[in-house]
Structure 1
Amino acid sequence: MTTQTATYREVFAVPAFRVLFVSRSIAIAADALRIVALSVLVFTATGSAWLSAVTFGIGFLPQVLGGALFGSLSDRLRPRPLIVAGYGAECLAALALATLPMPTWLRLALVGVVAIGAPIFNGASSRLVADVLTGDAYVLGRSLTSMASGGAQLLGLTLGGVAVGALGAQRALLLTAACHLLGALIVRFGLADLPAVPATGGALKQSWSTNAALLGDPWVRRLLLVQWLPSAFVVGAEALMVAYAGSRGFPAATLGLLMGGSPLGMLLGQLLFGRLVPPAARTRLVAPLILLLGLPPVLFVLNPPLLVCVALMVASGAGFAYSLGLQRAFVDAVPERGRGQAFGLLSTGLMTLQGVGPAVFGGVAAVTAPRWAVALAGVATVTTVLLVPSHRFLLDPGAVNTGRGKENADGQHTVPRRGAHVSGVDGELEESTAGSGAPGDRRPLG
């Protein structure tokens, strides 16, 4: 694996990445706006704080169904129409929420049904990014996507509050529909109509078998868990900031500072470590950055002053940059022909567990106190450092499964294989040899 450092200019020079980056950022801002407007709408209609909280997470948990049952569609269908269909479905759902009278349960059901497709559309988009960006450019592309995601969420939440105040909760959803329509148009007219990945057999069967193979491979499973669990635990701490502020008697006007600390830290961390830290050093910093992610919430048990709390959340958010040191290892560890589904599985796990984490630590806060629950979430995050592979394995070519490796005499790319073999997706191995870096097979990648 090359350790040459890429630049943001090189990443943005790729037309397909620009299209996916802009459209996805707009869609994330639209989702955040929808969360604000729909939460207000549901709370106004029901007066139930619990239903309002359910509304906040209703777009996350159903994604596990889409990833488990239909994840293979990320590879089996042409990416442009698939991504356009995803944004189109979001647009139509927002239009229905904004214009049609319906009971609360139907509103939530509609959002949940659309969310089932999210891993499919997002998996196709992530597969394209991995196809058009190589080496360190791919890592920087993921860094830019993460920064844009945090910024778009902050923008969407802010605009959501303004829009609800100016237009009312229901009519504010029209802005969500307009944003998703804009994203669909950008993809439709800005992205080339690339072919799907050839596949055989039924989509449902392939989805199950591919997920089973990915989760059954020790190396891939470890890379998934180390990306899933730290964020799931620390998001549990972030979700308790409202309750923590209430228990401390902080003024309501300062709540935005406390809740915005982690997203701000994430933006700064992704920018600093993505642009200034060399690729090899990023892999060595995975474990220290996970510690940075988890240790600051532990200090909340001491009930520090408000500004210290904000500083702790900013520091914790910077720890999210740990994922940059895992990106290349993950994209190289999964089968090339099942790459879209692999990214869909990664996204599904992230979204699902980030919905579970707040519920679990919220339950802890209910029986103890918010400061203890926040600290426990931090401790749980710190323990995940035990899952981090040695940086030698993250850099070792023997750890990769597919990718752009060495060339053999006939011009075909071959790399040592250590990832999951997915029947009907990955293809048959052409030759078997023992690699010097790690045990495994070699196969041509064409």
Structure 2
Amino acid sequence: MTTETGPARYLDVFAEPRFRALFAARTVWMAAGTLQILTVSVVVYRDTRSPLLGALAFGAGFLPQAAGGILLGAAADRVSPRRLILAGYLLEATVAAALALLHPPVAASLALIAAVGCLAPLGNGATGRLVADTLTGDAYVLGRAAISMSSSGAQLVGLAAGGAAVAALGPTPALLVACAGHLLAALLFVLFAGDAPTPPRTGPVLRESWTGTRALLADRTARRLLLVQWLPPAFSTGSESLLIPYASAHGWPAGTAGLLLAAIPLGMLVGDLLVGRLLGPAGRERAAPLLIALLGAPLTLLAAHPAAPIAVALLAAAGFGLSYLLGLQRPFLDALPPQARGHGFTLLSTGMMTLQGLGPLLMGLAAEQLGPGPVIALAGAAILVVALSLRLNHLRPVRK
């Protein structure tokens, strides 16, 4: 458990060589993964002309994470983080090469992506555990913020450059570039990142994973912190999935949808940087309910049909609100038993990815009946309910 309470700086975080290596490897991995997903979606849509299958290819790696996280979560504490993370990078490189060189049928391509998705939570859990073992106190919070910012930035670059790469090179070279990116991430990690101590095995992984998941969800404090980190991003992602039909319903030019989609991750980048830099540890935790409200309130205003520039500004403000996650990092870490940190981070990643996969599906079905604007506004209202719940819990702390 962390005990330090003083503020840290990003310079302190990047002064740690192991964190620098992990940060660089994960950034390259995220950019390569974004390019790979985009390319596969393009190929599937080109071969089938089915918007549904194209969207399924884009999200095929999300929902299977639920199975991997629940059934294998204990492995994040029983297997060396170095081995888990390196294995994940090499597995994704292998899949990218297979998709590029073997040109499997659509069903086989989706099966490969789903299989990798099952194991993704283990890599995320091992990464969280390695960061927690490398950085302490407020440096840990800023380290998690830096990784979050690198993920958002890498996704933005991957999406922007990915479309150009697929258009200029074609799908096969683009997938080979993605494969090279995964291999580069593996090389950076294996050469410069360290490891964390791993306790001895205590029993079958499946049984321990199921027992550990039930124990974490039965703990009132851990469960509340998990839900607060799962639900607002799920509603936010569901709202993002409706921005293209939202722009179309307003008759805005085609490029406007791209600006709307870029606004939330851009706002999140700015929010993580400023909140992490300007607020101290206690200030971030106190600000968390207000930042969640900032995430939800602008989404509710989109139902009023604002002009395009105002809609972009509202979405950027909502993205800024996602920096609320910084205020929950240390409370969540402190709620985890030291011997189950990897499992806790795996469960956190599992829930976030699964719900972010379900959110667009459920909100898309609702938008078929109500229209995109009202559904986005309802998502914003749901986020405000989460903010109110967290505020009430702050006033009446949960005692373990």
Same topology, TM > 0.5? yes
- 1:198 deviation in Å? 2.5
Distance 2:8 2:161 in 1: 34
Q: What corresponds to 1:145 in structure 2?
A: 147
Aligned residues of 2:4 and 2:136 also touching (Cα < 8 A): no
Higher relative contact order (CA 8 A, sep 6+): 2
Distance 1:302 1:187 in 2: 48
The equivalent of 1:223 in structure 2 is 225
Give, in angstroms, the shift of residue 374 of structure 1. Answer: 1.1
Secondary structure of the residue aligned to 1:286 is helix
| 1:22 and 2:56 aligned | no
- List per-residue Cα deviations over 1:160-195 (Å, max 9, x = no partner): 101101111232111111111011111111123443
2:130–2:196 contact (8 Å) kept in structure 1: no
Alignment-derived partner of residue 422 in structure 1 = none
Report which of the two structures shows the higher radius of gyration computed on alpha carbons: 1
Letter in 1 for 2:384: V
Written as runs of structure 1 = structure 2, the 5 A alignment for 1:298-337 is: 298-337=300-339
Partners of 2:384 and 2:230 in 1: CA distance: 13
Secondary structure at the counterpart of residue 147 of structure 1? helix
Residues 193 and 320 of structure 1, relative CA distance in 2, 3 Å threshold = closer
Match of 2:268 in 1: 266
Q: CA deviation at 1:101?
A: 2.3
Work out whether residues 70 and 210 of structure 2, in 8 Å CA contact, stay in contact via their aligned partners in 1.
yes
2:187 aligned with 1:185 = yes
Q: CA deviation at 1:199?
A: 3.4
- 2:7 equivalent to 1:5: yes
Partner of 2:365: 363
State the partner residue of 1:405: none
Q: CA offsets per residue over residues 50-85 of structure 1, 9 Å max, x none?
A: 111111111111111110111111111112122111
- Counterparts of residues 39-438 of structure 1 (less than 5 Å): 39-388=41-390, 390-391=393-394
Counterpart CA distance in 2 for 1:34 and 1:367 is: 33
Distance between the aligned counterparts of 1:156 and 1:70, measured in 2? 29
Paired position in structure 2 for 1:411? none
State the alpha-carbon separation in 1 of the partners of residues 132 and 242 from structure 2. 35
| Structure 1: distance between partners of 2:379 and 2:79 | 39
Distance in structure 2 (CA, Å) of the matches to 1:138 and 1:363? 39
Match of 1:59, SS state, is: coil
Structure 2: distance between partners of 1:134 and 1:322: 20
Is 1:34 paired with 2:36?
A: yes
Cα distance, 1:15 vs structure 2: 1.4
C-alpha separation between the residues in 1 aligned to 2:200 and 2:322? Answer: 35
Amino acid at match of 1:315: A
State the SS of the aligned residue for 1:326. helix
Give the direction of change, closer, same or farther, for the CA distance of 1:58–1:310 in structure 2 (3 Å limit).
same
**Is the 8 Å Cα contact of residues 72 and 206 (structure 2) preserved in structure 1?**
yes
Q: Deviations over 1:115-143 (max 9, x none)?
A: 11111111111101011111100110111
Consecutive unaligned residues of structure 1, counting only runs of 5 or more, are 400-437, 441-446
Residue by residue over 1:255-307, the C-alpha shift from the partner in whole angstroms, topping out at 9 and shown as x without a partner, is 22111000110000000100111111111111110010001011111110000
> What are the Cα deviations for residues 357-404 of structure 1, in whole angstroms up to 9, with x where unaligned?
11111111111111111111111111111331644788xxxx8xxxxx
Say if 1:41 and 1:170, in contact at 8 Å, map to a contact too.
no
Q: Distance in 2 between matches of 1:270 and 1:194?
A: 27
Amino acid in structure 2 at the alignment position of 1:161: G
C-alpha distance in 1, partners of 2:396/2:41?
44
Q: Displacement of 1:197 after TM fit?
A: 2.4
Partner of 1:285, secondary structure, is helix
Q: Which moved more, 1:161-170 or 1:257-266?
A: 161-170
CA distance in 1, matches of 2:362, 2:285: 30
Aligned residues: 397
How does the TM-score come out when normalised to structure 2?
0.97
More off after superposition, 307-316 vs 95-104: 95-104
Aligned alpha-carbon RMSD (Å): 1.4
Higher share in helix: 2
Provide the rounded CA distance (Å) in 1 between the counterparts of 2:294 and 2:208: 39
Sequence identity (%): 50
Retained in 1: the 8 A contact 2:271–2:320?
Answer: yes
